[in-house]
């Protein structure tokens, strides 16, 4: 009987329908709530004897996969895969899938929530009211301001659609733009430097790669208006956090909304004392609806592979013919 391990936060999201589909197909299902914080050695022990894993943010390194000979499929519960050594997985014949498209709308919603919270000082004002301080802080408009989107994929497009309702001027950096979408929403394609100089709000929607690491650094932060806000619901590695902290404390930037950090959970608390920063715990893409959708896609991809069908969301099709049997 094949066996699937379900780790971390996924524990609360696979309902009877997804479990039933896997079990009806002959899969044994095991939960490991501690998987989310697993080290490589922890993960090696957890994966022992399992054919597939519905994976959270634990590290799937070459060593982990090489020393887990029964592992055939890593189904990422989410869309990011920076914690999976994709090249090693391909070479070892391990399929890697993600729940692509299952949470785009939620991340776009969360991006706009951070933007509004920053502009209107909602978090700071809420804390003051709860402390018995009834003061009126002066916020900033979002209406008809300029929004810069660094990346115009599915999530970036979702943010652009929401900005349309606020009559915002939208700028974007995107090497492979959807021309029909760009024309429909009157988006101006510009260079990153132009976008940073002109935008009142800058929102990051890029994947992690050597080219995008710390794409927002000291030099680029210096291009932004001192009244501008930076939003990151993509990956923490996109921002040089030392430079961001300096820009915020020296009032060279109005504020930042951070759903992601370079290290998660963060290893430092320096941003905690800044009233012009709103932080959330990498939850932009997690709602009741998206959790169910991601769980369905993970279960579906495992079942498709079991039936000999190319699974939805497969990142390494090169591994399909050489996959572990």
Digit-coded pLDDT (tens) for 30-66: 888 766 678 899 999 999 999 999 998 899 999 999 9
Ramachandran area for residue 294 (φ above 0: left; ψ -120 to 50: alpha; else beta): alpha
pLDDT by 10s per residue, the chain, length 325: 899 999 866 544 556 667 778 888 899 998 887 666 788 999 999 999 999 999 988 999 999 999 999 999 999 998 888 889 999 999 999 999 999 899 999 999 999 999 999 999 999 999 999 999 998 889 999 999 999 999 999 999 999 999 999 999 999 999 999 999 999 999 999 999 999 999 999 999 998 889 999 999 999 999 999 999 999 999 999 999 999 999 999 999 999 999 999 998 898 899 999 999 999 999 999 998 998 899 889 999 999 999 999 999 999 999 998 887 6
Distance CA 86, CA 84 (A): 6
Ramachandran area for residue 8 (φ above 0: left; ψ -120 to 50: alpha; else beta): left
Q: Which residues participate in catalysis according to the annotation?
A: 235, 264, 282
| Length of the chain measured in residues | 325
Distance CA 230, CA 220 (A): 12
Distance CA 253, CA 241 (A): 13
Q: What are phi and psi of 258, to 5 degrees?
A: -120, 110
CB–CB of 240/218 below 8 Å? yes
What structural domains does the chain harbor? 3-102+287-319 (3.40.50.720), 104-279 (3.40.50.720)
CB–CB of 110/285 below 8 Å? yes
Strand partners, 172: 149, 189
155-195: per-residue pLDDT in tens? 999 999 999 999 999 999 999 999 999 999 999 999 999 99
Structure letter (DSSP) for residue 315: S
Quick one: which of 152, 154, 155, 159 has its CA closest to 175?
152
């Amino acid at each position: 009987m094949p066996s699937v391990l379900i780790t971390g936060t996924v524990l609360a999201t696979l309902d009877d329908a997804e479990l039933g589909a896997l079990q009806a197909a002959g899969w044994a299902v095991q939960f490991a709530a501690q998987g989310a914080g697993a080290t490589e050695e922890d993960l090696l022990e957890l994966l022992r004897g399992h054919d597939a894993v519905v994976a959270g943010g634990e590290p799937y390194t070459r060593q982990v996969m090489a020393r887990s000979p029964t592992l055939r499929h890593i189904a990422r519960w989410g869309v990011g895969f920076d914690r999976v050594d994709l090249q090693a997985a391909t070479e070892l014949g391990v399929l890697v899938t993600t729940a692509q498209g299952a949470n785009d709308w939620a991340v776009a919603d969360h991006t706009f929530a951070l933007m509004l919270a920053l502009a209107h000082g909602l978090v700071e004002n809420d804390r003051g009211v709860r402390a018995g301080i009834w003061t009126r802080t002066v916020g900033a408009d979002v209406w008809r301001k300029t929004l810069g989107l660094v990346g115009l994929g599915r999530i970036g497009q979702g943010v652009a659609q929401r900005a349309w309702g606020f009559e915002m001027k939208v700028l974007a950096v995107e090497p492979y733009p959807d021309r029909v979408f760009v024309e429909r929403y009157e988006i101006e394609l510009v260079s990153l430097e132009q976008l940073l100089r002109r935008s009142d709000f800058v929102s990051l929607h890029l994947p992690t790669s050597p080219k995008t690491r710390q794409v927002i650094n000291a030099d680029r932060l210096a291009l932004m208006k001192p009244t501008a806000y930076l939003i990151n619901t993509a990956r923490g590695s996109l921002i040089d956090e030392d430079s961001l902290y300096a820009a915020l404390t020296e009032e060279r930037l109005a504020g930042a909304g951070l759903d992601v950090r370079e290290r998660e959970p963060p290893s430092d608390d320096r941003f905690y004392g800044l009233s012009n920063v709103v932080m959330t715990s990498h939850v932009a893409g997690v709602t009741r609806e998206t959790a169910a959708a991601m769980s369905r896609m993970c279960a579906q991809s495992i079942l498709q592979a079991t039936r000999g069908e190319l699974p939805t969301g497969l990142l390494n099709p090169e591994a399909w013919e050489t996959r572990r049997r």
